[in-house]
Amino acid sequence: MDIVHEMGDATAVQIRERMADPPTDSAVRSVLRILVEKGHLSSAYDGPRYVYSPTVPAPRARSSAMRHVLRTFFGGSVEGAVATLLQMEDSKLTPEERARIKALIDQASEEGR
């Protein structure tokens, strides 16, 4: 999704070329088909290929994906997700990042979230 949002419109080949560790071509096409079925992308036939475009703004797509991850892997627990992120070996926070996260938590508390 991020690749399609960055490009605006993209073919399966273009998307796969931009992936760091791309799966097979058929796997990419399967995921694109599912994203079209779920309404996250639209597709238009352009000559010999389909061109995919985002139908959902990037922030809304991220929120939807995060809700799915929270429900699927953490039983809806934000605390569990944050704890897992912080316990990962490669999650080193800078002092600035820690301060921003603390500010976000404080703001959420003030807003009753």
| pLDDT confidence tier of residue 109, bands split at 50, 70 and 90 | very high
Q: Are residues 57 and 89 in the same domain?
A: no
Q: Are residues 24 and 54 in the same domain?
A: yes
Domain that holds residue 96: 77-113
The pLDDT tens digits of the residues spanning 69-85 come to: 999 999 999 999 999 98
Helix (H) or strand (E) holding 6: helix 2-7
Q: Are residues 38 and 85 in the same domain?
A: no
Region 51-65: what's the mean pLDDT?
91
| pLDDT confidence tier of residue 102, bands split at 50, 70 and 90 | very high
Q: Are residues 57 and 17 in the same domain?
A: yes
**DSSP letters spanning the chain:** -HHHHHHSSEEHHHHHHH-SS---HHHHHHHHHHHHHTTSEEEEEETTEEEEEESS-HHHHHHHHHHHHHHHHHTT-HHHHHHHHHHSTT-PPPHHHHHHHHHHHHHHHHTT-
